[in-house]
Structure 1
Amino acid sequence: PALYPFHINITNRHQDGIDDISLIIPYAKVFLEAHLEITKCIFEDSIKEAIEKQLNDFTKCPSDFDFKNEKLIYKSILLSFIKIFVMKYIQCCLNQKTLKTDEIIVLIRILFESILSEAFFEDEKLDKIIPKEITEKLLNTEKEKFEVIKSSIKDKAFKKFLLENVFVVFVGGFRVLDKYLTDFSVYNATKNEEYLNSEIKNNEFLKIIKKIYSKNAWPLSASYENRIMQTTKISKKLLFKELCGLICENYQNKNYRDIFKKKILTFNFDENEHRLPVVIRNVSNNIFPNDWSSDELLCFRGILERYSNHTLYLSFSLSIEDWLIVFIRQIFSKFKKERFYKIVSEDFPDAEAVRKEILKKIFGEIPEISPFCDDIKPFLVKLKENLKSQTYISFYFDKVEDSIFNDIIT
């Protein structure tokens, strides 16, 4: 008999990974997003209170060692901020009943035993955001120290540092909570069944997958029919762990666009019995990650090898906003501002042949521009080299939002 096919979708959108997992544990997304809204409400107030405390401490003892340099000041603010933030967060959970009583008790123990310790502050995290040549420079006068404390609330780099630590608390707390509890409410069968129909109806990733498969007359994976029933508890736990990270990063990108631009590439693997998302954090400036030695890419290569005798349906569902930024910024830098605006404001003719001739002439003026495909080709070539199966491939590109042009031009 013919071996059943397997399916891989490659996407660079956080929301696709979130939607894919949410077809298995739909309540988990609702649960995590509700808790993220709590963090949004209390974040700014917690910063203000932490800085006020620091100013009071400074007034009492300006010569204290904690005010020696920016790094020590930031450390004190962070530790005060996290304690204030967590206390407010727990109170909100109690008021809004977003956690069961036993879950709150365990979460409090987790937070105060580990995350709120002195070891929570890591010099390396701050050094990545603000050079230590700045933060470790000795502050000689009380005025210098006072200004650092007072201006920290407006410091974008320091705000990023605080936000990163908030999400360490958030993700770490729920991942450990999941480890300690045998009946964590995110897996509650009744709640997940309750939210499933709504999730299927509104799940954009499922709509994209169905569109791709319908257009290409591919057989849709049977696991899409009833993923809740087909997925084991162990797999759900692994998926919840991944979901925590995806939702937090997506939240950061959407709500703090001026601070965070986190990129990923997710390989959603699907066959009749197994679900496995492999998420790669793309920390490079490239469109695709190019380090095939990473654990995630080695795992992906292992999957391709293991199912080499099966037919593979490989689909790409990609946001091309980053691609446009790379491409248009290249052109912008070559044409300079006035020439660029003149070109983009031109009314090009509808006739394709004439339009191509005009564009060819325009781009012929900048022969030194590096080919855009140079940033994409290495990944696709490496991917092709690792494909062992009979493979069908399809590409789907997401609609570009108008706001992307603000990011390019400004």
Structure 2
Amino acid sequence: MGSLTRFTTSAPGRRRRSLPALLKQRPGLPIRPVFQPIVDLRNGCVSGFEALARLMQNGASAPHADFLAGLPRADRLWLFETMLDQSLAAMKGFAGPEPGLSISVNVERFLFLEEAFLTSLTQILDAHAYQGSGLVLEFLEEGIIEDEARMIEAIARVRRLGVRVALDDLGRAHSSLIDIKTLPVDILKLDQSFVRGLAKAPHDLQFVLSLLSLARGLGKALVIEGVETAEILDALMILGVEFAQGYGIARPMPADQVRPWLDSYKVPVATRSPRSLLGSFASHLMVVETCRILMHQPLPVARKEKSKNPDNCEIGRYFNRCGLHDTAFGAAHKQFHRVMTCYGSDYPSWKAGADGFADTLAAAIAQTPTA
């Protein structure tokens, strides 16, 4: 899947339907969506928004965690209907020069198995003249699915409406791998807990890289949540992550602030050269991964000689610009270059050099004050 696809708000000839039985008001629950951007890291452009439910009280908003726990199960469908209706309506006001924006709306997993859910979804899509594939429904990865066959068919029915499905908060429950393997979802969203702590645990980037490889192999898009700093964003771009979301890009905003934000958004220059120590760590992971792929495949002599120079790689150039080659991790980087091409002839030395640089750099990152 190359992108989060396009959202179209017009459908010539398609009859709009009213919603007489839907969206019944619940006393004391004025729900409004706020929207958080999702950015395509390959080109820096905004690809869409996730709609997040907020409870409005005295002019202020409270996150859904503050009211969802007390909302009866019978009212969860109403919450989804309200969010979907308001989000689709708001998206019509976001139209601009962008080639197409997706909108993601959360839905609880159990609703997929209820016939009323599909009926409501179809009616709301018709009422908004939805046509295309830009709507994404995100459901939580929460526990074991008791009726796997029914869930697979329910997801298939939703996708036949031109709606994409995402597995949200991946990694928060024990059944993740089972869900990835069996459910016909289009998008995987990694739980924010895996990246928020990268400044203190850079080695966790290895998990992100592994999941990225898995997602690509399965033909699914990967969205990384919890991107809170420029350093994390830098590292994810180096790894080749497609989509990212988090405070480091933008906080969730009301609908009337989205268009002004889009107009002022500056598309960052796409680069695979590190601009931070965390980005350098990610770049090293990519080098190590490449070496593992090339193991037992002879390299040309010229390539071997060139690789011995630590100034010839992107990490070395970044270290030189910042005067970092005289540090402990700079010395470890030089040592790795001395043994970089030995993975076939002297694997223990190569591994010691690769791990030594990774560990030394990780220790320096963990000691760096965060903003």
When the two structures are superposed, what TM-score results if normalisation uses the length of structure 2?
0.26
Q: Which has the higher helix share?
A: 1
Structure (1 or 2) with the greater strand fraction: 2
Report which of the two structures shows the higher radius of gyration computed on alpha carbons.
Answer: 1
**Which of the pair has the greater relative contact order for Cα pairs under 8 Å at 6+ separation?**
1
